[in-house]
Every structure is written in structure tokens, then in C-alpha cells.
């Protein structure tokens, strides 16, 4: 195992408080059996392929969420940040995902025409609804379990004695989300939440934000469950 990766959360910051407040749901998500199966290589490959197809559809809606973030922003810096994130998904991450899936024998046409699983519908539409009904802080709280959670999952797997990287078909996925470049993206999301909390009354709204974060964590766990059970 590598040296232990540090926690991305800022002590006392909004993300740290949300994660602590939703600890049971958060741990169910980041320590899910799907995740453990990737770590030790025991996850059936059919489950992972099903997840990859749904993740492609998931990314399309996350690009829409960042377009919504640009609309909800009230200053140019936040608008540019949202546009940059949307562009990164559409112009870089989607291409990398298609290339990665090709290595698993999954073509882009197959992913484009696949029906959305209920778990995909549930989380992506929840994120968009939170953004439409609320403000920029509500939207980013709903996004955080995905953006930050994947980095935490990969860090945990990299340091878990049960994880096997040599000969593990999921090793590249683990390394990708443990990579410093992705961890920088996750850390930026933590810092954004902490900043928005200060400018948008996050402390006074904590109870409502916690409900959003906890629901999003449960929906992320449901996304893993969908993959594990090949659910539709």
C-alpha cells in the first residue's frame, strides 16, 4: 500500500460537518460491497460493465448540472468555474470514459442507447431538482458526494490491506481516482462548499443542507447497489 492519503476535508468546514452528520449513509456509500469488490478484485465483471454504461449516462446529466450552476451563480468567477467544469466533462472526461469502456468491450453507441437505470434517474434528477429549487450551495451540496466521495473511496482502497492491485481488473479505476489530479478536483469542491457556506448562510441552513447531503449519499449507495445487482 502507498503512504496514507490525507483527509480532503477542512476541520470545521461545511463538508466535514455534512459528512459527520450523515456518517451512517456516507459510510454505507464509500464502504459499499461494490467498492470492496473492486478493491480485492472479486466484483463480477458484468456488474462493473453495467456500472460503466450507467456512469456514461450519469456524466451527461452532471454536465447539465454544471450548466445549471453557471445559471445559478451570481458572479463571473463562479460562472467561469461552472463552465470550466462542464467543459471538462464534455470535452475531456466523456472521451476518457469512452476510451476506458472500449477496453471493456463497450462501445459508445451501446452506452448512448442504453436505458437509464432507476438509480441513475434517481440521483441525477435529485441533483438537478436541488439546483432548480434551491441556490448554488444547494446544488453543490448535492454534487459533493459524487465529486468528493470517489476520491475518498479510492484513498480508502489504496490503504486497505484487503485491496489487491496486481492482477486486479479494477486497479486502473482505483488509481485514477487516487491520482493527485483528481484529488485536486475533489479538494476544490470541498473548498467551494466551505466558501459558499460563508457567503450564502450555510451555517443557518445546515439542517436543510444536511438532508440534501444525506439523501445524495444514500442515492450514491443506490448507484453501487444497482451495479452490484445489475438492476434496471
CATH number at residue 178: 1.20.910.10
Q: How far apart are CA 146 and CA 183, in angstroms?
A: 13
The answer on pLDDT for 4 being more than 90 is no
Establish if 128 belongs to a structural domain: yes
Establish if 5 belongs to a structural domain: no
C-alpha dihedral, 191 to 186 to 115 to 71, nearest 10°: 30
The answer on pLDDT for 115 being more than 90 is yes
**Mean pLDDT in residue range 118-128:** 96
State the catalytic residue, choosing from 47, 146, 152, 214: 146
**Predicted TM-score of the model (pTM):** 0.92
Establish if 197 belongs to a structural domain: yes
Q: How many domains does the chain have?
A: 1
- Do 146 and 62 contact (CB within 8 A), yes or no? yes
Establish if 97 belongs to a structural domain: yes
Establish if 194 belongs to a structural domain: yes
Q: Where residue 154 falls among pLDDT bands split at 50, 70, 90?
A: very high
Domain residue limits at 76:
14-227
47 catalytic? Reply is: no
Q: How far apart are CA 18 and CA 167, in angstroms?
A: 36
| Mean pLDDT, all residues of the chain | 93
- Do 231 and 118 contact (CB within 8 A), yes or no? yes
The pLDDT, as a whole number, for residue 232 is 45
* 3-state percent breakdown (helix, strand, coil) of the chain, nearest 5: 75, 0, 25
pLDDT tens-digit readout, 194-225: 999 988 888 899 999 999 999 999 999 999 99
Establish if 124 belongs to a structural domain: yes
Establish if 118 belongs to a structural domain: yes
Find how far residue 52's CA is from the centre of its chain. 13
**Mean pLDDT in residue range 137-145:** 96
The pLDDT, as a whole number, for residue 143 is 96
35 class by beta-carbon count within 10 Å (0-12 exposed, 13-18 middle, 19+ buried):
buried
The pLDDT, as a whole number, for residue 3 is 60
Contacts of 57 (CB under 8 A, 6+ apart): 111, 114, 116, 120, 124
Q: For 163-185, b where at least 16 C-beta lie within 10 A, e where not — what string?
A: bebeebebbebbeebbeeebbeb
220 catalytic? Reply is: yes
The pLDDT, as a whole number, for residue 12 is 86
The answer on pLDDT for 7 being more than 90 is no
Contacts of 191 (CB under 8 A, 6+ apart): 10
The pLDDT, as a whole number, for residue 90 is 93
pLDDT tens-digit readout, 59-95: 999 999 999 999 999 999 999 999 999 998 999 889 9
Q: Where residue 8 falls among pLDDT bands split at 50, 70, 90?
A: confident
* 115 three-state secondary structure: coil
How large a percentage of the chain has pLDDT more than 70? 98
**Mean pLDDT in residue range 93-103:** 91
Q: Where residue 230 falls among pLDDT bands split at 50, 70, 90?
A: confident
Q: Where residue 1 falls among pLDDT bands split at 50, 70, 90?
A: very low
Q: Where residue 190 falls among pLDDT bands split at 50, 70, 90?
A: very high
Q: How far apart are CA 170 and CA 55, in angstroms?
A: 15
Q: Which uninterrupted H or E stretch holds 208?
A: helix 206-229
State the catalytic residue, choosing from 47, 152, 214, 220: 220
Q: How far apart are CA 196 and CA 217, in angstroms?
A: 20
Amino acid at each position: 500500500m502507498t503512504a496514507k492519503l490525507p483527509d480532503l476535508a477542512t476541520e470545521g468546514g461545511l463538508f466535514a460537518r455534512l459528512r459527520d452528520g450523515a456518517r451512517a449513509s456516507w459510510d454505507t456509500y464509500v464502504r459499499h460491497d461494490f467498492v470492496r469488490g473492486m478493491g480485492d478484485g472479486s466484483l463480477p465483471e458484468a456488474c462493473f460493465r453495467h456500472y460503466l454504461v450507467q456512469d456514461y449516462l450519469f456524466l451527461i446529466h452532471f454536465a447539465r448540472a454544471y450548466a445549471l450552476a453557471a445559471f445559478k451563480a451570481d458572479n463571473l468567477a463562479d460562472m467561469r468555474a461552472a463552465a470550466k467544469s462542464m467543459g471538462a466533462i464534455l470535452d475531456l472526461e466523456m472521451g476518457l470514459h469512452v476510451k476506458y469502456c472500449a477496453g471493456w468491450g463497450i462501445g459508445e453507441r451501446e452506452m448512448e442507447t442504453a436505458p437509464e437505470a432507476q438509480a441513475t434517474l434517481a440521483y441525477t434528477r435529485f441533483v438537478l431538482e436541488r439546483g432548480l429549487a434551491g441556490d448554488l450551495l444547494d446544488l453543490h451540496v448535492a454534487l459533493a458526494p459524487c465529486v468528493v466521495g470517489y476520491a475518498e473511496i479510492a484513498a480508502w482502497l489504496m490503504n486497505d490491506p484487503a485491496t489487491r492491485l496486481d492482477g486486479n481488473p479494477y486497479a486502473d479505476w482505483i488509481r485514477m481516482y487516487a491520482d493527485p489530479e483528481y484529488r485536486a478536483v475533489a479538494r476544490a469542491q470541498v473548498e467551494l462548499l466551505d466558501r459558499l457556506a460563508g457567503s450564502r448562510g450555510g451555517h443557518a441552513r445546515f439542517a436543510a443542507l444536511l438532508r440534501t447531503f444525506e439523501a445524495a449519499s444514500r442515492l450514491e449507495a443506490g448507484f453501487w447497489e444497482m451495479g452490484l445487482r445489475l438492476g434496471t
